[in-house]
Structure 1
Amino acid sequence: MTTTRISVGGDYDVVIGNGLLQELPGLVGEGVQRVLIVHPRALAATGEAVREDLVAQGFEAYAAEVPDAEEAKTAQVAAFLWGVLGQAGFTRSDAIVSVGGGATTDLAGFVAATWLRGIRVVHVPTTLLGMVDAAVGGKTGINTPEGKNLVGAFHPPAGVLCDLTTLETLPQHDFVAGMAEVVKCGFIADPVILNLVESDLEGARSAQGPHVRELIERAVRVKADVVAADLRESSLREVLNYGHTFGHAVEQVERYAFRHGAAVSIGMVYVAELARLAGKLDDELVERHRSVLGGLGLPTTYRGDRWPQLLDAMKRDKKSRGSMLRFVVLQGLARPARLEGPDPALLQAAYAEVSADVTGRAVSL
C-alpha cells in the first residue's frame, strides 16, 4: 500500500501507512544523538523493538516504561521521565519518541516541551484515538486532581508516524472508542466521514473495515487544517473540542475509568441537545448523533444522578472564561459555533435528555 503524507501547516508531516518503522529515523532528524522511547507497560515489547531499531541506525537510544492510560499523566510520572533525561545527559539537540495511545502521547509531548524548554518529539501512536487526535496538533498535558489536561503546553511534534498495522491488535472496545473522535470530525467539518460510517456501521467498528484508512486520513486532514490555522487554540481550534466539555466532566467524575472516546460520545449528544434547546439545531441532526454513535456501539446516555459534580467539573474547563461556561455547538452540519453563558436551566435540561437511570443504560466502554 502507498504511504500518505499529510502536512500540518508545512511544519511537520503525519505519515500514514503500513510497516512504517523505517520512516522513524528520518522524522527524528539529523544531529540527534540520544533518543528516549516512552512507552506504556502494555507495549514494552514494541518499545524495545523501536529502541533496538534506532540503535541499529546509530542512535543512542533508551526506553522508559510508564503506566498505562491516564495513570501515566501525572506530575510524578513526568518527574520520573525528567530524571531519566537528566541521568542520560539529554541536550537540546536530542529527542523523545512516544509509542502508545493518547495518554502516552500527551505525557511524552509535555515532557519534551518542558525539558530544557523544548526538545524534539516524534509520536508513534498505536491506537485510533492517538492517530486522529492526540498525536496531531501539538497539545500536550498532564492531569491534576482538579481536572484533565489542566497542566500542559503547546509543543508541535517533529513528525507523526501512523502505522495502521498496529491497529490490528487493538482491542475492539479501544478501536470503537477512538471512532468517537473520527465521528466528531464528521460533524464539525467533513460530512463524508458520517456517510462512510453510516454506509457500513459494522465495518467502522473494526480495524479491518473497508473504509478505515480513508476515515483516518479524513479525520487527520480535518485536524491538520484546523491546527495549521490556529496553533494555540485562540479561536478556530476550539471547534476540535466538540463534545469535550461535558465529556471531560464525565471522565473526571468517573475518575478516568471511562475511555475518552466513550465520554466524548456522550458529550457530543449532550451538546447537540443543548444546541437544540437553544434554538440552533434541528431534531434530525440531534437524532443523527444518537444513531451514528449508538450504531457504533458508543454510549449516548449517562447516569442521571451526577449533575452537581458534572457542572462543577465543567466550570473548570479550559474553554471557560471566568464564571462563564463556553460550549462548541453546531448550528448545522459542519457549521460549528460557540454558545457562551447558556441559561443554567438549559444546561440541566440538556442533561435530562442524556440521563439514564442509575442502574444504567449508559455503560462505560
Structure 2
Amino acid sequence: MDEVTRIPVGGERPYDVLVGRDLLDPPPRLLPGATRVALLYAPPLKALADALGERLRAAGVRPLPIEVPDAEAAKRVEVAAACWDRLGEAGFTRDDGVIGIGGGAVTDLAGFVAACWLRGVRWVPVATSLLGMVDAAVGGKTGINTAAGKNLVGAFHPPAGVICDLSTLDSLPPAELAAGMAEVVKCGFIADPVILELVERDPATAVDPTGPVARELIERAVRVKADVVSGDLRESGVREVLNYGHTLAHAIEKVEGYRWRHGHAVAVGLVYAGELARLAGRLDEATARRHRSAVAALGLPTGYRADAWPELLATMRVDKKARGDKLRFVVLDGLARPAILEGPDDELLHAAYREVSR
C-alpha cells in the first residue's frame, strides 16, 4: 500500500475519503463491530468482490456477495428489493453493513439499500471508476431511477467511509476514464480552476491513472465535493452547485434510455450551461467557450441532437432543482463563481441549446 490521502467530509456524521493504491489488501476497518457485510457488485467485478470477501472472512467478518446488473440497470427498485430480500434471509441487523463495489450506479444502489434496510445501516462505497471516486461515492446521496427520470427516488445517507483505490482504474479503457473526467472538469469550473489548468496543459496525463497528475486531479475534485457537502448534506442550498451541467445531462441520459455514459452527458451539459450563462449576460464569452475546449480536449462530446429539444425540455421540467413550474439552472457569474438562474424563458433555453445542437 502506498501513501494514503485522507480527505475529511464534515457534517452531522463525519467520515474520511481514502485515496491511494492497493487500499483493499488488507481492507480498512470502516465497519467496526460488523459480523456480516453484504458485498454488492456487478459481474465484471466478481473477482475483486471475491478477493475482498476472502480478506473480510480472514478478519472474522462473514461476507454476503450479491451480484447486481451492470451500470444503470442496477438502479431499479426491483434490484433494490432483491437485495433487501437477501439481507432479510441472512438476518442482517443494524450492526452489520453494506459495501458497494463499482462505479457510480452500484454505489448509488448500495447506499440506497443501506439507507432503507432497518431505516439505515452503515455502508462503504469502494469506488472502482473515476466517476465513482469524484462524484457518486462522496456526499451520501443515494438513489435509483424511475420511469419519470434519474435519481428521483433516493435518500441522504452518508457512508462510514469511502475507498478510492486508484489501482482499480489501471484496467479501465481510456474512454471510460475520459468520461469520468467530465465531473472533474465540472469541479474546476465551479471551485478550483487549477483543475482546468492541469487538464488543458496535458490532457493525456489527466487520464493516466498511474501518474501523479491524475491523482492530483482526483484529490482536488474530491476536496471540492467534500467542502461543499460538509456544509449542506441535504442539498438545501450551496450543494446545488454540484449539479452544474447536470440538468441537461440527466435529460439526455433519460432520452437515451441511459445508454449514454454519464460523463458524456455531463460534458454536453457543461457546454450548455456555459452558453446559457453567456446568453443570459451572466458569463463572459471566453469562459463560456472554455467549457467547449476543455471537454473537447479530453475527447468528450460537445453537442447533442437538434431534434431532441422538445423531449429534453419536458424532461428537465421534472428535474430535482425545479420549483413548481420554474426551471432552475446552476450557472456561472465568473470562473469559480457558481450561482442560480431561476425561471429562464423557453426561448433563452432553446437559444442556448442551439449552440450545442448537431
Counterpart for residue 4 of structure 1: 5
Per-residue CA deviation, residues 28-65 of structure 1 (Å, 9 max, x unaligned), is: 22x21110000011111111111111011000111000
CA drift of 1:25 comes to 4.4
Alignment check: 8 A CA contact 2:27 2:55 kept: no
Per-residue CA deviation, residues 140-169 of structure 1 (Å, 9 max, x unaligned), is: 000001100000000000000111000001
Counterpart for residue 56 of structure 2: 54
1:126 aligns with 2:128: yes
Alignment check: 8 A CA contact 2:26 2:55 kept: no
CA drift of 1:23 comes to 5.7
Distance 1:238 1:136 in 2: 15
Residues 255 and 179 (structure 1), Cα distance of their counterparts in 2 relative to 1, 3 Å cut = same
Match for 1:19 among 19, 22, 29? 22
Counterpart for residue 259 of structure 2: 257
Partner SS, residue 38 of structure 1: strand
Per-residue CA deviation, residues 250-274 of structure 1 (Å, 9 max, x unaligned), is: 0000000100010011001111111
Distance 2:195 2:28 in 1: 32
Distance 2:110 2:209 in 1: 25
Match for 1:350 among 321, 328, 352? 352
Out of 168-177 and 186-195, give the one that drifted further: 168-177
Counterpart AA for 2:354: A
Structure 2 unaligned blocks of 5 or more: none
Counterpart for residue 41 of structure 2: 39
CA drift of 1:207 comes to 1.9
Per-residue CA deviation, residues 112-164 of structure 1 (Å, 9 max, x unaligned), is: 00000000001100000000000000000000011000000000000001110
Alignment check: 8 A CA contact 2:109 2:144 kept: yes
Distance 1:180 1:259 in 2: 11
The normalised TM-score by structure 1 is 0.96
Alignment check: 8 A CA contact 1:246 1:310 kept: yes
Partner SS, residue 76 of structure 1: helix
Alignment check: 8 A CA contact 1:25 1:54 kept: no
Residues 52 and 23 (structure 1), Cα distance of their counterparts in 2 relative to 1, 3 Å cut = closer
Distance 2:89 2:202 in 1: 51
CA drift of 1:22 comes to 3.9
Structure 1 vs Structure 2: percent identity of aligned residues?
Answer: 64
Partner SS, residue 220 of structure 1: helix
CA drift of 1:206 comes to 2.7
Alignment of 1:128-147 (within 5 A): 128-147=130-149
Counterpart for residue 68 of structure 2: 66
The normalised TM-score by structure 2 is 0.98
1:185 aligns with 2:187: yes
Which stretches of structure 1, 4 residues or longer, exceed 4 Å deviation after superposition? none
Distance 1:179 1:203 in 2: 12
Partner SS, residue 297 of structure 1: coil
CA drift of 1:26 comes to 1.1
Aligned length: 355
Counterpart for residue 362 of structure 1: none
Distance 1:171 1:43 in 2: 15
Distance 2:153 2:133 in 1: 22
Counterpart for residue 274 of structure 1: 276
Alignment check: 8 A CA contact 1:265 1:293 kept: yes
Alignment check: 8 A CA contact 1:25 1:57 kept: no
Counterpart for residue 248 of structure 1: 250
Alignment check: 8 A CA contact 2:328 2:342 kept: yes
Counterpart for residue 83 of structure 1: 85
Counterpart AA for 1:156: P
Structure 1 unaligned blocks of 5 or more: 357-365
What is the RMSD computed on CA atoms of the aligned residues? Answer: 0.9
Distance 2:60 2:154 in 1: 32
